[in-house]
Every structure is written in structure tokens, then in C-alpha cells.
Structure 1
Amino acid sequence: MSDVLQAVFGGLTLGAQYALMALGFSMIFGILRVINFAHGAFYTLGGYIGYYVSTEMGMPFVVGLIVAALVTALLGYAFEITVIEQRIDDHLATIVLTLGLGLMITAAVLILFGPQAVAYNFPLEGTLRIGGAAVPYGRLIVIGVAVVAVMLIHLFLYRTQTGRGLRAMADDRHIAVTQGMRPKILFPLAFGIATGIAGLTGALVTPLFSLAPSIGDQVLMVSFLAVILGGLGSLSGAVLASLLIGMVESFAGIYIGGTVAPLLLFCLVLVLLVVRPTGLLGREVKHV
């Protein structure tokens, strides 16, 4: 029983990480129709910013989280305005541009911090005993922050005028524009929020796992799978799929072996997409 609970909490931690990343990834695609392949690089950058602020500068861990979220949000906002906005309807160009941005961020991290993984530990040590399972406090905090973040994003999108504007742009951009919505204001805002979430996730989660220049690549791949599995553009579907993937990865790592987990994930995605091509909670994507 303790092994099952250990796997459950491990899966919730992984699922929380993937959910936060998939939320931002899905938000950018749903609103801008842009696949942001730099999302993993923003995660990595957030981790290194959090590390530098809290370790090198000696600031509280929470300050590192805030700075990481703000810097990555501002960078994403500026990138959308100056680069993506000019080629917003050219899907191939936006893919190349986001790939290039990801490479640039990774190169900057390599230059500033070197290729080696850095020691970055969660500030709160200790474990909590739950039904025979020892759950580190850090994992509980990650799960709690993810729940709060998802709730705040939901409230923002469904309870504020700006959030309703973003959802209107996602539903039908042309009709939203005729109703007075301004893409040049809403698009950079959505991109900045999404990259800020990625930076926050990197600063929050990397102390529990590892921090290296390439760490964002794997997270990006799994988050992309979660977005596809949940349904392109569906935020609730991305969260549900992320939790499912986290559970599969955690249980497979304990009972089968960590090397088999990626194979199971791809098989899971293939089977579910055959049964439901639009994903768990997805719908047909409109061409805009």
C-alpha cells in the first residue's frame, strides 16, 4: 500500500509539473494558433533564474519564483510583439521562430552557467507520512502551487473581461475582432502569461529533480503529448491528460522500470487518439 501511495504522490507531482507547462502551451496554441517550441527553454530559463536569485544572491525562494515568472513573462511578451506578431498567420514561420528562440535561450544558459548540472535544492526539507508513504514537503508544495495556479488561470479566463476576450479570440478570431477585441493587445498578453507560467514552473520544480541546460527538452516533449492527448486548445483537457501521464510515468517507474515509461506514454497517446482523434476534451480546430 505504501508503494501505491508513493506512486500516487509521485504521479501527482509529475502531473502538476506537466499540467502547468501544458496550460501555457495550450493557451498559446488555442489563442494564437502558434506552436511554441521555445516553451521548454522558458522552463529551463525560469529554473536558472530561480537558482541564481535564491542561491547566488541569497534571496528567499519565493522571491526567486516571482523573479523567474516576471522575467520569462516579459521576455515572452516582447518576443510576441517584436517577432511573432509580424508572422502570426504563417504557421511554418512561427514554428521556425520559436525553435530559434529556444536555441538562443539554451545557448545563453550554456554561456552563463556552463553545461554541467547545478546543485539546486528545495528550501523546505523533510517528509510527511501519509498512509505509510513518505512524501517530501517539496512535492506537496508543488502540487499545492499547481492547484492554486490552475484555479487562478480559470478565474482569470472565465471571470474577467480580459479573460473572456482571450477565450473569444480562441473561439473565433474574426468574429471577436468585429466585436472590438484587439489582437495586438491580447496576443502578447496570452504569450507572456504562458511563458511566465513556464518560468514559474521551472523555478518551482527543478529543485526537486535536476537543473541542466537541456532539462526543458524532456518536459516540453511530455507537455506536448499532454496537449495532444487532452485536445489541442483545451485547457481542461491539457490538465486532465497531464495528470494521467504523470500517473502512468510514476507507476511505470516503480513497478516496471523508468526506461519503459516513455514507450507506455506513446502507446497510451496512440491508442486514445485512435479512439478519440480530437483528444480527451478537444474539438475540431477552426482554420483562421
Structure 2
Amino acid sequence: MNGFLQAFVNGLTLGAQYALMALGFSLIFGILGVMNFAHGAFYALGGYVAYLVDKTLGLPYALAVVAAVLMTAALGYVFELVVIERRIDDHLATIVLTLGLSLVVGASLLAIFGPRSVDFPAPLTGTLRAGGVYIPTARLMIIVVSAAAIAGVYLLLYRTRLGNALRALADDRTIALAQGIRPKVLFPLAFGLATGLAGLTGALVTPIFSLAPFVGEHVLMISFLAVILGGLGSLPGAVIASILVGLVESFVGFYIGGSWAPLMLFTAVLVLLVVRPTGLFGAKAAHV
């Protein structure tokens, strides 16, 4: 039972980071109709910004996380405004552009920091014990902050006028335009919000796992898997599917072996998509 609970806690930690990444990815797709394959690069960039602020400048880790969010959000805002906006309706072009940005960011980090992982220890080193289950405080921090960030995004989208406008664009852009909603103003904001979530994830998670130039590619792959599983464009589906993916990865790694986890995940998603091609949330996957 203790092993089961330990795997459950570890799965929640994995699911929390996948949920933040999948939420941002699904947010961009749901509102802009763009698949942002540079999301993993923003994850890595967020980790490096936090590392520089915390270790090089000597500022508190909390400020390092805030700096990572602001930097990645600003870069995402500018990238959408200057580059993506020009090709917003050309889906193939936006895929190529985001892949190109991913390569540029990764190559830049590689040139500056080198191929090896940097020494970025977790800011919290204690461990909580509940019965026979040990919960590192750093992992608990990821779960708490991720839950708060997801709740914040929910409140923004469903309790504010800005959120209503963003969801209107996601549901029907033509009607939204007729109502006076301006996509050229809101699209960069949505993109920046999503990339800020990726930067937040990188700043929270990389001190616990590892920080290297292309560390975001694996997280992006698993998060994209969760987005497909939940239903493209569905924010609740992305979050729920991410938690499920994290739990499956943790339990498979604990009881069978870590190398089997990706195989089990891809097999489960393949079977589900054969039975339910639109994902867990069905027709709702088409909008936020």
C-alpha cells in the first residue's frame, strides 16, 4: 500500500507538470488554431531564466520563477505579434514557424550553456512523511503551484470579460469579429499566457529533474499526447488527461519498469483513439 501511495504522489507530480504544459498548448490551439511546437523550447527557456536569476544574480527562487514567467510570456507575445500573426490562417506555415523557433531557442541555449545539464538544485530539500509515504517538499510545491496556476487560468477564462472574449474567438471568430472583438489584440495575449505557463513549468520542474538545452522535447511529447487524449482544444480534457498520463507513467514505472511507460502510454492512446477518435471529451474538444 505504501508503494502504491508513493507511486500515486509521484504520478501527481508528473501529471501537474504535464497539465501546465498541455494547458498552454491547448489554449493556443483552441483560441488561435495554431499548434505551437516551440512549447518545449519555452519550457527549457523558463528553466534557464530561473537558473540565471537564482544562481547567477543570487535573487530568491520565487523571483526567479516570476522572471521566467515574464520572460517567456513576453517572448511568446512578441513572436505571435511579429511572426505568427502574419500567417495565422496558414496552419502548415505556423507549424513550420514554431518548429523553427524551437530549433533557434534550443541551438541558442546549447551555444551559451553547452550540452551538459547545469547544476540547478531544488530550492526546497525537505521531505514530509505521512505514514510510510515520503513526499519531497519540492514535489509538493509543484503540485500546489500547478493547481493554483490552473485555477487562475480557469478564473481568467470563465470569470472575466477578457476570458469571455477569448472563448468567443475560439467558438466562432466571425461572430466575435462582428461583436467588436479584435483578434490582433487578443491573440498575442493568449499566446503569451500559454508560453508563460510553459516557462512556469520549466522554472518549477527543472531543478528537480534536469536542465539541458533540449530538455523540453520529452515533456512536450508527453504533453501533446495528453492534449490528444483529452481532445484537441479542450482545456478540461487537457488537464484531466495530463493527470491520467502522469499516474499511468508513475504506476507503470513502479510496478513494471520505467522503460515500459512510453510504450504503455502510446498503446493506450492508440486504442482510445480507435474507439473514440475525438478524445475523452468528444465533440467538446473542438473549443475551449
TM-score, with normalisation over the residues of structure 2? 0.98
Q: Which amino acid aligns with 2:43?
A: Y
2:137 aligned partner, one-letter code: Y
Aligned to 2:109: 109
Unpaired segments ≥5 residues, structure 2 = none
Match of 1:192 in 2: 192
CA contact (8 A) 1:37 1:95 kept: yes
SS at 1:253 equivalent: helix
What code does the residue aligned with 2:150 have?
V
Give distance in 2, aligned partners of 1:162 and 1:284. Answer: 21
The Cα offsets for residues 224-251 of structure 1, whole Å up to 9 and x where unpaired, read as: 0010000000000000000000000001
> SS of the residue aligned with 1:228?
helix
Structure 1 residues not aligned, in runs of 5+: none
Using the alignment, how far apart are the partners of 1:57 and 1:222 within structure 2? Answer: 33
Paired with 1:6 and 1:55, the residues of 2 have a C-alpha distance of 31
The answer as to 2:31 corresponding to 1:31 is: yes
Answer yes or no: is the 8 Å Cα contact 1:22–1:224 preserved in 2: yes
- Pairwise CA distance, 1:25: 0.1
- 1:43 equivalent in alignment to 2:9: no
The answer for the alignment partner of 1:277 in structure 2 is 277
In the alignment, the residues of structure 2 paired with residue 181 and residue 271 of structure 1 have an alpha-carbon distance, to the nearest angstrom, of 40
Match of 1:249 in 2: 249
Q: Give me the identity figure in percent.
A: 65
Mapped contact 1:237–1:282 kept (Cα < 8 A): no
Is contact 1:2-1:133 (8 Å) kept? yes
Counterpart of 1:237?
A: 237
Range moving further from structure 2, 57-66 or 268-277? 268-277
Equivalent residue number for residue 5 of structure 1: 5
Specify the alignment match of 1:55 in structure 2.
Answer: 55
Q: For the Cα contact (< 8 Å) 1:233–1:282, is it kept in 2?
A: no
SS in 1 for 2:270: helix
Alignment of 1:97-246 (within 5 A): 97-246=97-246
Is the partner of 2:258 in helix, strand or coil?
Answer: coil
Q: CA deviation at 1:282?
A: 3.9
Q: Distance in 2 between matches of 1:277 and 1:200?
A: 31
**Following TM superposition, by how much is the alpha carbon of 1:283 offset from its aligned partner in structure 2, in angstroms?**
1.9
- The alpha carbon displacement at 1:131 in A equals 2.8
How far residue 284 of structure 1 moved from its aligned partner, in angstroms, is 6.7
Runs (4+) off by over 3 Å = 284-287
Moved more, 273-282 or 154-163: 273-282
Pair 146,286 (structure 1): closer, same or farther in 2 beyond 3 Å:
closer
Equivalent-residue separation in structure 1 for 2:219 and 2:178 (angstroms): 38
CA contact under 8 A between 2:26 and 2:233: conserved in structure 1?
A: yes
1:95 paired residue number: 95
